[in-house]
Amino acid sequence: MSHIKERRFRLGWLLLLPFFASALVGALLYRWLMTEGKRSTVLWEFLRNPQAHAEWTVRVGERCGSAPFLMPTSGLIGYLWGDSFRPGHRHQGIDIFGGGGLKQTPVVAAYAGYLSRQPNWKASLIIRIPEDPLQPARQIWMYYTHMADPEGTPFIEPHFPPGTSEVFVEAGTLLGFQGNYSGDPSNPTGIHLHFSIVLDDGQGHFRNELEFHNTLDPSPYLGLPLNAEQNAGEIPRCSIPSTAGP
Ligand SMILES: [Zn+2]
């Protein structure tokens, strides 16, 4: 008798499982639609006609308020720090889409520092900042990538070839142009710049820039709402001066 009851009890839970599962999927889907999904919709709209949405963009070299960093490139900041492109993944930086073609949208140093490229880096560079402007006791790094065509022809300025080590660059120095290199020539990304701020390992080297927990929220460095968890759908851009409107 008790055996049957137990079974019924278990069966009851089993019947409820699809309900819980669909509620969970629904909640996750809702969250996605309100964040990454919303950003994707805005991005597609922008890429269809970038000229019509210039007010959604940031401009290379501009400074938002009193933020320490300059904008590293122009365009729509389509994806933020912490966005999730697949379960378990969190985006280590921000993606800025210029809306133009390959090798058209300039990329500059957001802050003064020492530029290096590993010998096998086709589309990437990193800049060491000995004193974090927001926390001067530590060293941080700025990582730039996707600066090549699908085959890996670099759009980084020729005087910073692979293997470059510790070349000083001022804030605003031209580093190259946006590209769409993904590592897989048959499946390039959209044309953009990926920019992230990477922690130091304490021994003078950068931590693995591909791990989310090795990166910093770029919001206070660029003076924009770039944290995916805190941004509910606002397009990050510097406030438009009041004289710009009609
Ligand atoms: Zn990215």
Q: What is the DSSP string of 108-121?
A: E-SS-EEEE--TT-
Helix (H), strand (E) at residue 11: helix 2-34
Tally of domains in the chain: 1
For ligand 1, the distance from its centroid to the CA atom of residue 91, given in whole angstroms, is: 6
Whether 205 maps to a domain, the answer reads yes
CA distance 80 to 131: 24
Nearest to 46 by CA among 99, 96, 94: 99
Whether 90 maps to a domain, the answer reads yes
**What are the tokens at 26?**
């629904």
Please check the confidence at residue 175 and state whether its pLDDT lies above 50. yes
Whether 8 maps to a domain, the answer reads no
Which of the four pLDDT bands, split at 50, 70 and 90, describes residue 245? very low
Helix (H), strand (E) at residue 202: none
Q: CA of 219: how far to CAs of 41, 59, 61, 215, 234, in Å? A: 22, 16, 16, 12, 13
Nearest to 98 by CA among 146, 26, 152, 36: 146
Whether 69 maps to a domain, the answer reads yes
For ligand 1, the distance from its centroid to the CA atom of residue 94, given in whole angstroms, is: 5
For ligand 1, the distance from its centroid to the CA atom of residue 72, given in whole angstroms, is: 14
For ligand 1, the distance from its centroid to the CA atom of residue 86, given in whole angstroms, is: 13
Whether 230 maps to a domain, the answer reads yes
Each residue's pLDDT tens digit, 96-107: 999 999 999 999
For ligand 1, the distance from its centroid to the CA atom of residue 21, given in whole angstroms, is: 31
Whether 149 maps to a domain, the answer reads yes
Mean local confidence (pLDDT), 142-171: 98
Instruction: Evaluate whether 216 touches 202 at the Cβ level (below 8 Å).
Output: no
Nearest to 179 by CA among 110, 107, 111, 79: 107
For ligand 1, the distance from its centroid to the CA atom of residue 123, given in whole angstroms, is: 13
By residue range, what is the domain housing residue 171? Answer: 35-243
CA distance 83 to 146: 18
135: CATH: 2.70.70.10
For ligand 1, the distance from its centroid to the CA atom of residue 92, given in whole angstroms, is: 7
Whether 2 maps to a domain, the answer reads no
Which of the four pLDDT bands, split at 50, 70 and 90, describes residue 2? low
For ligand 1, the distance from its centroid to the CA atom of residue 95, given in whole angstroms, is: 5
Whether 27 maps to a domain, the answer reads no
Each residue's pLDDT tens digit, 11-61: 777 788 888 888 877 777 776 666 778 899 999 999 999 999 999 999 999
